[in-house]
């Protein structure tokens, strides 16, 4: 027996490619011309990925060592291009694959977001997703003229109202408003376009939108909040939830929880897909894959700063201050990210910081082996969890790795009947709901 | 020895991300999916073939219901809405061309500055330095209401805010020095952090810590375009703009307008040649002058429709309900606007001593009338530039369809090229290079 067919998405950023691995080509100097990304999305479409998703952030972190030196030196948080501006080019270069872009409810004016996403949905002929985030960094808030972000749960209360408003704006034009009656000289029937007069606690907007209803009606909504407030929000709106629970039992629990919450909101749980982040390590042989992982671990052991910079940015704690060969001191505090810090301590469980960096994975489960072995591991996991698929996180970010997934792993999955070999539909959501 | 003055002038086109002509005899097959960008890509490629400097995409952020208190006329006409986001279209269009520039309109009243700085920087990178921002302050309370305000700030205050806004956006672009991306393998350094700095901008209206999270755009600053004709608008343009879109009526006013701007630029400490003033024209072309005149007469014959279209448009941008006025009386003295003030005052001057019906019938959105064969049209443009001194024309086709575009790009432009009045090849790589080429 094998699992039902599941979905694959690609998770990444509009950032430079690798440039010191020996397999870097020339993209790290030219990535901002977009050509690497055009090739990438075409490759993923050839491999029948459901979608590519771009995360985003709005700052240059300077927490680690009290300076932006380390993050800029390595290229992590920045430089990063605006994925919304890249999306039209990717849409034009492809025909079926979904394209989801991150836009923050804490920084965008809702009306503007509604129109940009609607425009992208038209440009892509119904293949756009909006990855809804509330943002987590005060440094980003300062770029937008605030002193700090609103508190965590309030951000979700705002996001809730924001999405309600944006959805109403998309709905402010009926699907058949465009009549193009040449004889009577009527382009749009005004009775099918209505103001919404939205007055909420946080937002106001008169409406209507000034553009045609998006082809999908509502572009695909994706979300990744893992807190209770985040999950509750996702259960009301999300078509797809990205998740990072650790290990198969936790994955199952996470998915069951989301499905339960979705059902409690009166929605069909099959219409919210839960997808788990993974970074498979592939090799010609099993041993070769293990060797690659060992080499990767050793590289982190020698240069753990990359991981430390990431944590410094997200927890707003300067990890450069600590002894790498001791555990995180007990008296370290943070203002805004208490639960993240608490989870970190629990997970690190007495490891030295260096070993914590080696052990830490931005993924739900480890996948290592030949393409066929990894396909089998994914099969097994999906049988346990029940669905709905995986998000490949590009590690390392270069053509070689993309090729390994698209031309190695994907055919192995297709052979096992676990992955689509073509797109059944034109719209992103229809493909996501195909199975 | 005298050095010959370069007789060449610039060409650009004005368009919205709205449907092309959908009603006329040359509208082509019905295109309900114009928002996918296909027809605009064809359009821009035609302009690039004709070596235009740029396409300028205007924008607005509302469905107007000022005219007769309902959105009926405005939506039936389909000029203001539906309309797509021009910055996103610009990104797509630039990816399908290699030399021509695209300018997209974004409002300093509504877009958060950090977002605008980053989006523009991204598109400038993606296009290899061919992007421009048309900085408008917006003119409609209806738009303000979509963004949660009750009304726009007053006209002149909008320009004060815009001046600060532009300052902030430029500082964000400059927060990364050129050459910050070093890719030094020896020290394992991708970006040199000493070349990236917070800006800690604390203005009266805007705040931002910075830095931007992206390298400095290829042009340093993407081209800044502006179209304000009021005293506040002109002063702002003279201080900040690379290119100005203008609608003064007739050669004398055109010359005065340009001289004025150049003087203001000098006062602002700038080289006046760094600001190009582009005048709006809507040429009517045909095989012969006589045919072109007939065509023009045909357009004016449908006066009722023409008057209404103009009134509906201005009701939107000026938020004055023109349907209330008696067409057989002059424009009432007390009609005023917090929106396009300079447009209204130009029209008032134009309409002096005429009834509204007469004024609207005669009025065209253009600085000078260009009607005739390509040769005659070229004469008119050439003489105008000789009189005014520069810098070029912004074509605004009332009804943009493929036939009209090709009349310009394949009829008028070759005629201008033969006379050495416009470029036959691009010289530079960036949009600003095109503007400063001559
Ligand atoms: C796979 C994944 C992708 C994410 N992408 C982004 C992103 O692009 N931008 C962002 O600000 N946050 C991003 N986040 C953070 C989430 O939006 C969310 O804030 C985080 O998971 C913590 O959950 P909470 O907000 O419910 O506390 C991502 C999280 C995950 C797991
Ligand atoms: C050719 C041209 C294009 C314009 N494009 C826009 C536009 O896209 N969006 C907008 O809100 N205003 C646009 N305007 C209006 C100007 O920004 C300005 O408000 C108007 O010319 C009146 O000048 P004033 O603001 O100085 O009174 C345009 C004006 C002209 C002449």
Distance B376 CA to ligand 1 centre (A): 63
Q: Whose CA is nearest to atom 13 of ligand 2?
A: B136
Q: How far apart, in whole angstroms, are the C-alpha atoms of residue B48 and residue B61?
A: 28
Chain B residues within 8 A of A203 when measuring between CB atoms: 148
Distance B227 CA to ligand 2 centre (A): 5
**Where on the phi/psi map is residue B390: left (φ > 0), alpha (ψ -120 to 50), or beta?**
left
For B103, what's the count of Cα atoms within 13 Å in the CB-facing half-sphere?
33
| Cα distance between the two ends of chain A | 17
Which whole number is the average pLDDT over A168-180?
Answer: 96
Q: What is the pLDDT of residues A246-269, one digit of tens each?
A: 999 999 999 999 999 999 999 999
pLDDT for position B122:
98
Distance A256 CA to ligand 1 centre (A): 20
Q: Would the CB atoms of B111 and A112 count as touching at under 8 Å?
A: yes
Which whole number is the average pLDDT over A316-327?
Answer: 92
Q: Ligand 2 within 6 A of B276 CB? A: no
Q: How far apart, in whole angstroms, are the C-alpha atoms of residue A358 and residue B18?
A: 53
- pLDDT band of A211, cuts 50, 70, 90: very high
Q: Ligand 2 within 6 A of B124 CB? A: no
Q: Which residue has the higher pLDDT, B340 or B290?
A: B290
**Buried b / exposed e across A232-261, counting CB within 10 Å, b at 16+?**
bbbbbbbbbbbbbbeebebbbebbebbbeb
Task: Please tell me the distance in Å from B175's CA to the nearest CA on chain A.
Answer: 11
Best probe of the B interface among A38, A66, A82, A180, by most B CBs < 10 A, is A82
Whether residue A193 has pLDDT greater than 60: yes
Best probe of the B interface among A30, A56, A60, A198, by most B CBs < 10 A, is A60
Structure-block tokens of residue B326: 């008696």
Q: Whose CA is nearest to atom 11 of ligand 1?
A: A135
Per the DSSP assignment, residues forming a β-bridge with A52 are A10, A99
pLDDT for position B333:
85
pLDDT for position B4:
66
Which whole number is the average pLDDT over B3-31?
Answer: 88
Q: What is the pLDDT of residues A64-101, one digit of tens each?
A: 999 999 889 888 789 999 999 999 999 999 999 999 99
Whether residue B225 has pLDDT greater than 90: yes
Whether residue A313 has pLDDT greater than 90: no
Distance B71 CA to ligand 2 centre (A): 21
Q: Whose CA is nearest to atom 14 of ligand 2?
A: B227
Look over chain A and give the mean of its residue pLDDT values, rounded to a whole number.
94
Pair A360, A348: CB distance under 8 Å: no
Pair B317, B347: CB distance under 8 Å: no
Which whole number is the average pLDDT over B245-261?
Answer: 95
Q: Would the CB atoms of A34 and B95 count as touching at under 8 Å?
A: yes
Residue A394 to residues A279, A307, A406, B325, Cα–Cα distance (Å) = 7, 15, 12, 64
Distance B228 CA to ligand 2 centre (A): 6
**Which residues have a Cβ under 8 Å from the Cβ of B391 and sit 6 or more positions away?**
B9, B10, B258, B276, B277, B278
Which whole number is the average pLDDT over A374-396?
Answer: 95
pLDDT for position B42:
95
pLDDT for position B193:
95
Task: Please tell me the distance in Å from A154's CA to the nearest CA on chain B.
Answer: 19
CB-nearest to A86 from B126, B128, B145 is: B126
Cα nearest neighbour of B203 on chain A: A145
For the packed helices B86-95 and B113-126, what is the interaxial angle rounded to 10 degrees?
A: 10
Q: Ligand 1 within 6 A of A55 CB? A: yes
Atom of ligand 1 nearest to the CA of A55: 8
Q: Worst-scoring range by mean pLDDT, A116-130, A287-301, B342-356, B379-393?
A: B342-356
Q: Ligand 1 within 6 A of A200 CB? A: no
Burial class, B293, CB count within 10 angstroms (exposed 0-12 / middle 13-18 / buried 19+):
middle
Q: How far apart, in whole angstroms, are the C-alpha atoms of residue B68 and residue B307?
A: 14
Residue intervals of chain B classified under CATH 3.20.20.30 are 2-150+217-291+367-436
Q: What is the pLDDT of residues B110-134, one digit of tens each?
A: 999 999 999 999 999 999 999 999 9
pLDDT for position A269:
97
The answer to whether the bond into B391 is cis (omega within 30° of 0) is yes
| Maximum mean pLDDT: which of A213-227, A322-336, B228-242 | A213-227
Structure-block tokens of residue A429: 């959501």
Which whole number is the average pLDDT over B376-390?
Answer: 97
pLDDT for position B3:
55
Q: What is the pLDDT of residues A25-75, one digit of tens each?
A: 999 999 999 999 999 999 999 999 999 999 999 999 888 999 999 889 888
- pLDDT band of A314, cuts 50, 70, 90: confident
- pLDDT band of B343, cuts 50, 70, 90: confident
In 3-state terms, what secondary structure has residue A170? helix
For the packed helices B250-267 and B374-388, what is the interaxial angle rounded to 10 degrees?
A: 40
Whether residue B1 has pLDDT greater than 50: no
- pLDDT band of A335, cuts 50, 70, 90: low
Just give the CATH number of B2-150+217-291+367-436. Answer: 3.20.20.30
pLDDT for position B163:
95
Which whole number is the average pLDDT over B97-115?
Answer: 98
CB-nearest to B126 from A34, A57, A173 is: A34
Q: Would the CB atoms of B191 and A73 count as touching at under 8 Å?
A: yes
Q: Which of B15, B17, B58, B337 to mutate to test the pocket of ligand 2 (most atoms within 8 A of CB)?
A: B58
Q: What is the pLDDT of residues B139-186, one digit of tens each?
A: 899 999 999 999 999 999 999 999 999 999 999 999 999 999 999 989
Share of chain B above pLDDT 70, in %: 99
Just give the CATH number of A7-150+211-284+363-432. Answer: 3.20.20.30
What is the residue extent of each domain of chain A?
7-150+211-284+363-432, 287-359
Whether residue B93 has pLDDT greater than 90: yes
Q: How far apart, in whole angstroms, are the C-alpha atoms of residue B172 and residue B201?
A: 9
**Which residues have a Cβ under 8 Å from the Cβ of B301 and sit 6 or more positions away?**
none
Task: Please tell me the distance in Å from A12's CA to the nearest CA on chain B.
Answer: 17
Q: What is the pLDDT of residues A152-171, one digit of tens each?
A: 899 999 999 999 999 999 99
- pLDDT band of B30, cuts 50, 70, 90: confident
Q: How far apart, in whole angstroms, are the C-alpha atoms of residue A133 and residue B375?
A: 58
The 3-class secondary structure across B104-121, one letter per residue, is EEEECCCCCHHHHHHHHH
Burial class, B295, CB count within 10 angstroms (exposed 0-12 / middle 13-18 / buried 19+):
middle
Which whole number is the average pLDDT over B26-37?
Answer: 90
């Amino acid at each position: 027996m094998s699992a039902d067919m599941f979905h694959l998405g690609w998770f990444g950023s509009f950032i430079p490619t690798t440039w010191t691995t020996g397999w870097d080509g020339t993209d790290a100097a030219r990535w901002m011309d977009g050509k690497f990304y055009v090739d990438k999305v075409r490759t993923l479409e050839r491999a029948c990925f459901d979608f590519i998703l771009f995360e985003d952030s709005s700052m240059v972190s300077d927490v680690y060592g009290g300076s932006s030196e380390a993050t800029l030196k390595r290229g992590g948080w920045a430089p990063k291009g605006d994925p919304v501006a890249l999306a039209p080019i990717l849409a034009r270069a492809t025909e079926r694959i979904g394209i989801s872009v991150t836009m923050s409810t804490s920084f965008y004016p809702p009306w503007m977001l509604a129109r940009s996403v609607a425009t992208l949905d038209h440009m892509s002929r119904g293949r756009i997703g909006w990855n809804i985030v509330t943002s987590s960094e005060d440094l980003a808030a300062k770029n937008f003229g605030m002193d700090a972000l609103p508190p965590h749960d309030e951000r979700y209360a705002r996001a809730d109202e924001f999405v309600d408003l944006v959805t109403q704006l998309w709905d402010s034009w009926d699907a058949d408003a465009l009549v193009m009656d040449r004889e009577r000289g009527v382009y749009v029937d005004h009775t099918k376009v209505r103001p919404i007069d939205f007055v909420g606690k946080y937002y106001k907007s008169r409406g209507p939108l000034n553009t045609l209803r998006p082809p999908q009606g509502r572009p695909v909504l994706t979300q990744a909040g893992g807190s209770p407030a985040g999950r509750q929000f996702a259960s009301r709106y999300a078509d797809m939830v990205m998740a990072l629970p650790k290990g198969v039992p936790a994955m199952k629990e996470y998915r069951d929880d989301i499905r339960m919450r979705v059902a409690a909101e009166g929605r069909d749980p099959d219409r919210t897909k839960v997808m788990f982040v993974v970074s498979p390590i592939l090799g010609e042989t099993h041993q070769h894959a293990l060797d690659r992982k060992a080499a990767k671990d050793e590289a982190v052991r020698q240069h753990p700063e990359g991981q430390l910079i990431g944590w410094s940015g997200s927890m707003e704690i300067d990890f450069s201050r600590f002894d790498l060969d001791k555990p995180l001191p007990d008296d370290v505090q943070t203002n805004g990210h208490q639960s993240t810090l608490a989870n970190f301590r629990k997970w690190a469980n007495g490891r030295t910081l260096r070993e914590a960096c080696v052990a830490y994975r931005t993924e739900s489960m480890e996948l290592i082996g030949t393409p066929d072995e990894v396909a089998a591991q994914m099969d097994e996991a999906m049988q346990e969890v029940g669905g709905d698929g995986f998000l490949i996180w590009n590690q390392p970010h270069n053509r070689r790795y993309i090729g390994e997934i698209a031309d190695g792993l994907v055919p192995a999955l297709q052979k096992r009947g676990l992955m689509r070999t073509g797109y059944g539909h034109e719209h992103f959501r229809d493909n996501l709901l195909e199975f | 020895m005298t050095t010959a003055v370069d007789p060449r002038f610039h060409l650009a086109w004005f368009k919205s991300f709205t449907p092309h002509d959908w009603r006329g005899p040359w509208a082509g097959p019905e295109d309900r999916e114009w928002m996918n960008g296909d027809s605009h890509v064809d359009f821009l490629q035609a302009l690039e073939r004709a070596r235009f400097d740029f396409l300028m995409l205007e924008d607005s952020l509302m469905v107007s219901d000022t005219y007769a208190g309902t959105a009926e006329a405005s939506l039936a006409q389909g000029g203001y809405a539906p309309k797509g986001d021009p910055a996103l279209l610009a990104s797509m269009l630039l990816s399908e061309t290699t030399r021509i520039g695209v300018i997209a309109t974004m409002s300093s009243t509504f877009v958060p500055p950090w977002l605008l700085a980053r989006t523009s920087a991204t598109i400038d990178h993606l296009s290899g330095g061919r992007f421009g921002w048309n900085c408008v302050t917006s003119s409609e309370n209806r738009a303000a209401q979509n963004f949660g305000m009750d009304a726009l700030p007053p006209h002149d205050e909008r320009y004060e805010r815009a001046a600060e806004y532009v300052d902030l956006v430029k500082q964000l672009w400059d927060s990364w020095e050129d050459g910050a991306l070093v890719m030094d393998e020896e020290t394992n350094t991708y970006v040199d952090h000493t070349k990236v700095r917070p800006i800690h901008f604390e203005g009266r209206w805007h705040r931002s810590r910075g830095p931007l999270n992206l390298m400095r755009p290829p042009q340093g600053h993407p081209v800044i375009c502006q179209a304000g004709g009021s005293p506040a608008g002109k002063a702002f343009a003279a201080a900040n703009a690379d290119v100005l879109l203008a609608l003064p009526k007739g050669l004398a006013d055109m010359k005065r307008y340009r001289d004025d701007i150049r003087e203001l630029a000098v006062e602002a400490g700038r080289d006046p040649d760094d600001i190009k003033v582009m005048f709006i024209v809507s040429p009517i072309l045909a095989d012969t002058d006589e045919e072109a005149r007939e065509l023009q007469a045909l357009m004016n014959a449908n006066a009722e429709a023409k008057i209404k279209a103009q009134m509906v448009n201005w009701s939107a941008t000026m938020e004055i309900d023109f349907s209330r006025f008696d067409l057989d009386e002059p424009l009432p003295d007390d009609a005023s606007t917090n929106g396009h003030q300079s447009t209204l005052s130009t029209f008032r001057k134009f309409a002096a001593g005429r009834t509204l019906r007469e004024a609207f019938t005669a009025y065209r959105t253009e600085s000078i009338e260009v009607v005739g064969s390509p040769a005659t049209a070229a004469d008119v443009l050439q003489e105008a530039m000789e009189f005014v001194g520069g810098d070029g024309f912004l074509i605004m086709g009332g009804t943009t369809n493929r036939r009209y575009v090709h009349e310009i790009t394949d009829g008028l432009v070759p005629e201008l090229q033969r006379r050495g009045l416009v470029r036959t090849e691009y010289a530079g790589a960036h949009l600003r290079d095109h503007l400063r080429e001559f």
